[in-house]
Structure 1
Amino acid sequence: MRPIVLAAACAAIVGIAYGMHSPIVPVFAKQELGANFSEVGVIGLANYLPYMVVPIFGGMLLDRINKSYLLILGICLNVFAIFMLSEVATVGDTILLRAVSGIAHAFFWPSAEVIVSTTAPSDKRVKWIAIYTAAWVCGFMIGPLIGKLILDHFTYRTLFEITALAISFALVPSFLLHQHGRPLKLQSYKPFSLADIKGEVSSRPVVSAVVLYYAVTFGVLLAIYPAYIKAASISDQDIELLFFVFGIARFATLPFVHRIAGRGRTALAAAVAVMATGMAVSFAFTSLWSFTAALVLAGIATSIFYPITFYFVTRNAPLEKMGTKLGIYEALFGAGWTVGPVGVGLSSDTFGPASPYLAFSILGIILTGAIVTTSVKKSNMFS
């Protein structure tokens, strides 16, 4: 229980810091640096690209060294990268610093995730990962409110400085996790090949497809969506409040995830359908209330996506190889995170800011139908 509490405390602090500044980075890039949607997409690409590569190698390291080392490294890199945002003068500088933040998150999240999964009993893993996620979501929910208060009196750059200070407090529970982060047993180093990764992903095609859809849409919500909202003449303070509502929806859904997990494929299909509906609302309407409705739907969907896909990925994995296993799927998530923002940025400039959300809605409907169809044809798809 103690490592779960410490990991949750770490997640809550980092979540607060991310909630404070993440929704504002795209707005800052457009308003203060003069970035267009394509450049905002590249900033998102830089932030998420490391997550497509680092988790695979980081996951193998997590099976061999103390997990708290990578956790602490991730937090320290984040402190540096977020603080230096207050000094940037160009889009290029912002891209570089967001890449550093991406590397930081690629160390931080899998490290905490593996600590939780290796210390929780297998029959309670969904429950504990839901608690850990709830701590993160609660932090991410509170963060935008704090960010709004800061922006009421200070500039974007001051917000980044305060955020860097806030995230540094996560070092306290991270150091305390040192005794719980030791590898279960020493292992010989055996790097994964591309064939191993392909085999792992292809063995769970439905889960892999859902992870990609979740990653792409979630990455767009964080990297592009705030700029889309801003283009509809919504104030910075209201954007922070919208992401507070997004956090409330995520937090309110998590207590039911343990029960929903038993629905398996049905739960994943429902999550995709809910996200697709939110994307459709985002395409059709651009008012404060429509953005609120869309983010509530997206919040519900993301809270279902993560714990349930996490359960399916980890339920048969040996504890001593948990880091490697999770690293592959985190890298898959990173691929979706990377492709989403840059693709949406380019399509927003080419076809209009609303066009990507229509595409996501259609893709979600198709994926929902595919999940339902394969569930009927092959009941053991997730085994």
Structure 2
Amino acid sequence: MKAIILVAVCAAIVGVSYGMHSPIVPIFAKEELGADFSQVGLVGMANYLPYMFAPFFVGMMLDRRNKGYILASGVGLSMFSLLLLSTAQSVPEAMVFRGMAGVAHALFWPACEVLISTNSSPEKRVKWIALFTAAWVGGFMAGPLAGRLVLDFFDYRVLFQLSAATMAAALVPAFLLVRHGRPVGMEKHRGTSLANVKHEVTSMPAVSAVLLYYAITFGVILAVYPAYMKTAAITDQDIELLFFAFGIARFATLPFVQRLAVHGRSALVAAVALTAVGMLISFAFTSVWSFAAALVLIGISTSIFYPVTFNIVTRNVPLDKIGSKLGIYETLFGMGWTAGPLAVGLSSDAFGPPSPYLAFAVIGAALAGAIVIRKKS
């Protein structure tokens, strides 16, 4: 139980830092560095690209090395990347520094997942992953309020520096987790490969499709959506408040996750449908209130996606192989995270900023319908 609490504390602190700076990075790229939507998408892609590859190795590391040290290294690298971002003068520089942040996240997030999995029983795993998610979401919810306050007095660069200072506090619980992070077993596993990913995708196609849709849309919401709101004349402070509403929606949904998890695929269909509606609203309307409605719906859906898919993926997996198993799905998630911002950035410049959101609405409706039909057949 102590390990779970320490992971939650670490997640809450890191969540505050992410909530402070994440909604502003696309705006910083567009306003401060002169990026167009394609370049904003490239900055987002650079942030998520490491997640396509790092979990191959991180998953195996987590089965063999102390998870507390891996977690601490992720926090430290994330802090360093934020300090460097505050000095960026061009889009390529921002891409490099966001790439470092992506590597850091690929260390931090799986380490948290595996620490929870190896320090809890299968029966309580959903409960504890929901607590971890609540801590992360609670931090991410508070972060935009802190970011809004900072932007009332300082510029984007100071915001990134203060986010790094906030992140530094997470090193304390990370190092305290070293005693809880020793490897469970010393079995030597084969390296994760694209063949492993292919096998998992074909063995659970519905879950994999939902995970990809979730990864793509969530990546877009963090990496491109704020720039889209900025073109609709939404102020920086209001964008931070809108992401606060996004956090509230995510946080308010978490108490119901335990009950939703037992419904498995039905819960995932509902999450996909909510995201599709949010995307449709984003395409059709561009006011503060319409963006708020869209982000609330998407916030609810993201709180459903993660714990439910986590439960399905880790069910009946031996403890000493959970790191490798999660590495496969984190890689799949990274593929979606990487592709989404790049595709949306290019299509926004080619067909207009609202166009990608209509596409996501149509794809989401089709995916939800396909899963329902497949379940009935």
Task: Name the TM-score, length of structure 2 as normaliser.
Answer: 0.99
Q: Please show how residues 67-82 of structure 1 align to structure 2 within 5 Å.
A: 67-82=67-82
Q: CA deviation at 1:334?
A: 0.4
1:94 counterpart = 2:94? yes
Matches within 5 A, 1:110-149: 110-149=110-149
Per-residue CA shift, 1:318-372, capped at 9, x if unaligned?
1000000001000100000000000000000000000000000000000000110
1:22 is paired with a residue of what secondary structure?
helix
> Distance between the aligned counterparts of 1:268 and 1:185, measured in 2?
33
**Post-superposition shift, 1:287?**
0.3
- Does 2:55 match 1:61? no
1:107 paired to 2:132? no
Q: Residue in 2 aligned with 1:151?
A: 151
User: Percent identity between the aligned chains?
Assistant: 63
Residue 78 of structure 1 aligns to a residue whose secondary structure is helix
CA distance in 1, matches of 2:193, 2:291: 43
Aligned to 2:353: 353
Q: Which residue of 2 aligns with 1:332?
A: 332
**Maintained 8 Å contact 2:17/2:163:** yes
Indicate if the aligned counterparts of 2:192 and 2:328 stay in contact, CA closer than 8 A: no
Q: Give the letter aligned to residue 64 of structure 1.
A: R
Corresponding residue for 2:319?
A: 319
Counterpart Cα distance in 2 of 1:237 and 1:196: 44
Please list, as runs of the form range in 1=range in 2, the aligned pairs for 1:274-289 lying within 5 A after superposition.
274-289=274-289
Amino acid at match of 1:61: M
Return the offset for 1:295: 0.2
Provide the rounded CA distance (Å) in 2 between the counterparts of 1:146 and 1:182.
35
Letter in 1 for 2:29: A
SS of structure 2 residue aligned to 1:61: helix
Partner SS, residue 8 of structure 1:
helix
| Matched AA of 2:236 | D
Does residue 174 of the first structure (1) align with residue 143 of the second (2)?
no
- The answer for the alignment partner of 1:12 in structure 2 is 12
Structure-2 separation of matches of 1:62 and 1:283: 41
Q: Which residue of 2 aligns with 1:163?
A: 163
1:264 Cα offset (Å) = 1.3
1:117: how far off?
1.3
Is 1:27 aligned to residue 22 of structure 2? no
Give the 5 Å matches for 1:282-321: 282-321=282-321
How far, CA to CA, are the matches of 1:34 and 1:330 in structure 2? 32
User: In 2, distance between residues paired with 1:269 and 1:189?
Assistant: 34
CA deviation string 1:105-161 (max 9, x = no partner): 000000011001111110111111001000000000000000000000001010011
Unaligned 5+ runs, structure 2: none
Paired amino acid for 1:68: G
Whole-angstrom CA distance in 2 between matches of 1:69 and 1:86: 26
Partners of 2:321 and 2:231 lie apart in 1 by 46
Q: How does 1:155-234 map to 2 (within 5 A)?
A: 155-234=155-234
RMSD value, Cα: 0.7
Q: Output one character per residue of 1:205-227: Cα deviation in whole Å (capped at 9) or x when no partner.
A: 00000000000000000000000
Question: Equivalents in 2 of 1:193, 1:161: separation in Å?
Answer: 37
- Deviations 1:278-336 (CA, angstroms, capped at 9, x unpaired): 00000000000000000000000000000000000001111000000001000100000
Partner of 1:237: 237
Deviation at 1:69, TM superposition (A): 1.5
Runs of 4+ residues over 4 Å off in structure 1? none
* Structure 1 position 263, deviation (Å): 1.2
SS in 2 for 1:286: coil
Q: Matched residues in 1 for 2:261 and 2:86: separation?
A: 42
* Inter-partner Cα distance in structure 2 for 1:266 and 1:214: 15
The answer to whether residue 367 in structure 2 is matched with residue 367 in structure 1 is: yes
Deviation at 1:180, TM superposition (A): 0.6
1:195 positional shift? 2.0
Deviates more, 1:191-200 or 1:88-97: 191-200
Bigger mean CA deviation after superposition, 274-283 or 259-268: 259-268
Aligned to 1:381: none
CA distance in structure 1 between the partners assigned to 2:219 and 2:196 by the alignment: 26
Deviation sequence 1:191-249 (CA, Å, 0-9, x none): 13332221122111000000000000000000000000000000000000000000000
**What is the CA–CA distance in structure 2 between the aligned matches of 1:187 and 1:279, rounded to whole Å?**
45
2:42 counterpart residue number: 42
Distance of 2:83 and 2:195 partners within structure 1: 40
Aligned residues: 377
Answer with 358-367 or 261-270: which moved more: 261-270
The alpha carbon displacement at 1:189 in A equals: 4.5
Contact 2:197 2:332 in 1 (8 A): no
Report the CA distance between 1:185 and its aligned residue: 1.3
Aligned mates of 1:164, 1:335 — CA distance in 2: 27
CA distance in 2, matches of 1:189, 1:307: 26
d(CA) in 2 for partners of 1:86 and 1:63? 35
Task: Between 213-222 and 261-270, report the one with greater CA deviation.
Answer: 261-270
Residues 60-101 of structure 1, C-alpha deviations (whole Å, 9 max, x = no match): 110011111111111111111001111111111100000000
Note the residue ranges of structure 1 that are not aligned, 5 or more in a row. Answer: 378-383
CA contact (8 A) 2:197 2:329 kept: no
- Which stretch shifts more, 189-198 or 286-295? 189-198
